[in-house]
Structure 1
């Protein structure tokens, strides 16, 4: 299934079905057990009533047995012989014996329930039963067992109708010491009818319940996902139109979908800004490249037509400018692509001395102030950090009047490289704008002298990718002071 609504509805339906089936089976089992226990209790009561009569030495022919349709009763002796049975009981199973006749006609009791051959009423030939020794071990009265009865399930056939019963077996001892077992049953029709009714209700109600759950889940999921469909439709329209100024609708709720819509709009905003920045970058780069290329082409065309007029130094200068601009654009492209800086161990003091010593042809000499014994170690890309050390003095040379100073020191667990000049400085309102690409505050300055406006942008991007910062403030000499702060390399000895 490709639809979230369908999967949600199916999943909810399956879960509810499993829960309802489990709960239904549990209800049926509990109901069956309770009703069976009730039938067993009724059977026990009937059995104990008959057993009480036997304990009182009531003759078996005079036992008051309950109606066989309600409580079929069967009495057996210790050998399993049938002693008494309910009237109209045709067949029985699940008791001590399946026999329902013939009955035992005589049973020895202490009250004359049985007779001997001479009719004296004494089983021992008329001997005196008053003798204590003769009466030893024979209870004066019978008793009913107080142990829990044995329960079994069986059937009883009464007047041709066979039904399931719950039988209880209770032992009773007559006054003559004869142990008899009374098997009394209670019909399970009520239990079967109740369980059947519940089962039928569940079989009918379960599909209806599942249909309701599926429908409700479908509708609720559809309602919940309606904003998602709106977001999808708007994103599809944005993709088709390529209009990044459009935004997806944000629902008024505070749930996950609302947060998704807000995040999507934030992503669109960032994407729009990135595309706009890229377009401006391409336009500015094309504009900057056009000047040296046009100048170089003009000089080459003139040289081809009039070799004596070829300005070779000018052509070399334009070529150098073009090469430097291409290198800057390539570095910015790598930085935008997320190029990670290296992990080379560097001494910023030594790097500052090396880069400044290689500078030739500066309009104003550059002074360097680095503590000789202070460790200024950082971790990063040597070429990229050297690019910053080269760009900052280049920028200072364009604006300084008489001095450019470069210093390096440690401060609060970091390394700080500062470049200051005594020029006009940078207005406070422009101190962030100068780090944008292709920005030159002095528009009147020629591109040959002022550069393409990429040096400071490259320097800040490199600083950020080294977990550092590049800021500009006012120098003590009155000009601009650029400070590069990098995290110091941890001392492995600590």
Structure 2
């Protein structure tokens, strides 16, 4: 049971059914109340007419025993003291009016017969009251709506005339409507639940297919697989496309990590093997120890380990510190002590990790000096009010157009032999671009004016 109602389909069906049930119950209550009110209004109108008819006869001087009383409407005429002056012929009991009596008092017409022709007609008033009661006619007790009309007869006596209209039709109509609703409501709710269950199942079928494929991908660890995309333009299709994009990015990231581990292992193997060989030779023949080579291999190994550690931190999403510093000052510090490097810089502040930016600039200068024939030129300037630009240009052979993006990949060396001789592992430019991206900037390469390569770093101004 818990598993059943834990599904989206079951919850949607239950919610839809509950909402429809509440709406139908509310609508049914409104309909019943409106029906009862309308029928009660019709009964009041009928009672008004019957009461006015009898009151008019009394006002015209018709004797109470000779009043023409409507057989369909029980009538009772009483004076202010509650004495019954006239009632319908078949009225056996009454409640809810001015008096429970159903027998006229003797002498109700006394004092009227002799001066009928000499008295003016009485006055008929307005309907002054509506109420509900019961009356027994021919042995059957039924609920009635009563109307009261006050009239002055020719004896200047105030008489209250009560006339009733049966509520049996109202009660029958309301009962019939309530019965229809009670029978129809469960059937309608069953239809709503079935339609919601069916529609939801069809709507969630692509979601279940996505879930099944994701479960299969998790079990097989095959990130090359993709979830099915339904041929629709709804949220489920967008979910499937987003899922496939996530899988593609994850596959690329995992493949990148695999290559990174493989390349790192390969790069570490050479200095470790060289260092081990030198140590083994030194252990057997101390006089043959190449101390300078062992130091170089150790330094190379240390630099490679530092590069790998920095890349790992960048891949982990390490956010740079929000420190403001002068970019031109950092450039001058990194260029100091380097031969054949000229600097033209204007002061501009940027924000981020000063250490990472120093590493970026050092890598660019190392790369430029490695490929320059005679000189390296560095320039720092503002580009509008938003970006600081650092240009590092050399007069070497430049970078072929087809390799201008590939050189920023990890462990890529266009000149394999020279890079290894210089201790490079193909990580300098990759680190530089990653640092630039982490600081909200860009790093690109194009042809320099002198014919070599020009690396352009753009960072947001603090």
* Match among 368, 375, 378 for residue 406 of structure 1: 378
User: Which deviates further from its counterpart, 87-96 or 224-233?
Assistant: 87-96
- Hey, what does 1:135 align to over in structure 2? none
Mark the runs of 5 or more structure 1 residues left unpaired by the alignment. 114-120, 124-128, 131-138, 360-364, 490-494
Q: 1:122 to 1:356 in 2, by over 3 A?
A: closer
- State the shift of 1:198 in Å: 0.4
Secondary structure at the aligned position of 2:102 is classed as coil
Q: Does 1:96 align with 2:98?
A: yes
- CA–CA separation in structure 1 for the residues paired with 2:25 and 2:106: 52
Alignment of 1:425-440 (within 5 A): 425-440=398-413
Partner deviation per Cα, 1:285-314 (whole Å, 9 max, x = no partner): 111111111111111111111111111111
Partner deviation per Cα, 1:203-249 (whole Å, 9 max, x = no partner): 11111111111111111111100000000000000000011111100
* Match among 183, 197, 215 for residue 194 of structure 2: 215
- State the shift of 1:98 in Å: 0.3
Check conservation: 2:48, 2:127, Cα contact below 8 A: no
- State the shift of 1:122 in Å: 6.3
- Hey, what does 1:462 align to over in structure 2? 435
Partner deviation per Cα, 1:104-139 (whole Å, 9 max, x = no partner): 323356xx43xxxxxxx369xxxxx98xxxxxxxx6
Check conservation: 1:378, 1:415, Cα contact below 8 A: yes
TM-score, scaled to structure 1: 0.90
Check conservation: 1:84, 1:104, Cα contact below 8 A: no
Partner deviation per Cα, 1:245-277 (whole Å, 9 max, x = no partner): 111000111010010001001111111111111
Check conservation: 1:396, 1:420, Cα contact below 8 A: yes
- CA–CA separation in structure 1 for the residues paired with 2:276 and 2:110: 142
Alignment of 1:67-216 (within 5 A): 67=71, 70-108=72-110, 112-113=112-113, 121=114, 140-145=120-125, 147-216=126-195
- Hey, what does 1:368 align to over in structure 2? 342
- CA–CA separation in structure 2 for the residues paired with 1:151 and 1:189: 17
User: Which deviates further from its counterpart, 318-327 or 301-310?
Assistant: 301-310
- CA–CA separation in structure 1 for the residues paired with 2:148 and 2:383: 98
Check conservation: 1:434, 1:440, Cα contact below 8 A: yes
Check conservation: 1:43, 1:184, Cα contact below 8 A: yes
- State the shift of 1:407 in Å: 2.2
Secondary structure at the aligned position of 1:64 is classed as coil
Secondary structure at the aligned position of 2:143 is classed as strand
Check conservation: 2:413, 2:419, Cα contact below 8 A: no
TM-score, scaled to structure 2: 0.96
The ranges of structure 1 where at least 4 consecutive aligned residues each deviate by more than 4 angstroms after the TM superposition are: none
Secondary structure at the aligned position of 2:358 is classed as helix
Mark the runs of 5 or more structure 2 residues left unpaired by the alignment. none
- CA–CA separation in structure 1 for the residues paired with 2:104 and 2:120: 30
Larger radius of gyration: 1
Check conservation: 1:47, 1:184, Cα contact below 8 A: yes
- Hey, what does 1:394 align to over in structure 2? 366
Check conservation: 2:380, 2:389, Cα contact below 8 A: yes
- CA–CA separation in structure 1 for the residues paired with 2:423 and 2:384: 35
- State the shift of 1:358 in Å: 4.4
Q: Number of paired residues?
A: 457
- CA–CA separation in structure 2 for the residues paired with 1:148 and 1:78: 16
Check conservation: 1:356, 1:366, Cα contact below 8 A: no
Partner deviation per Cα, 1:333-387 (whole Å, 9 max, x = no partner): 001111111122211222122122244xxxxx2322234xx42221121111111
Alignment of 1:349-368 (within 5 A): 349-359=328-338, 365-368=339-342
- State the shift of 1:412 in Å: 1.8
* Match among 273, 283, 288 for residue 309 of structure 1: 288
Secondary structure at the aligned position of 1:406 is classed as strand
- CA–CA separation in structure 2 for the residues paired with 1:231 and 1:13: 28
* Match among 42, 46, 51 for residue 42 of structure 1: 46
Q: Does 1:481 align with 2:454?
A: yes
- Hey, what does 1:492 align to over in structure 2? none
Check conservation: 2:419, 2:425, Cα contact below 8 A: no
Q: Does 1:57 align with 2:61?
A: yes
Secondary structure at the aligned position of 1:452 is classed as coil
- State the shift of 1:398 in Å: 1.7
Alignment of 1:370-385 (within 5 A): 370-371=344-345, 374-385=346-357
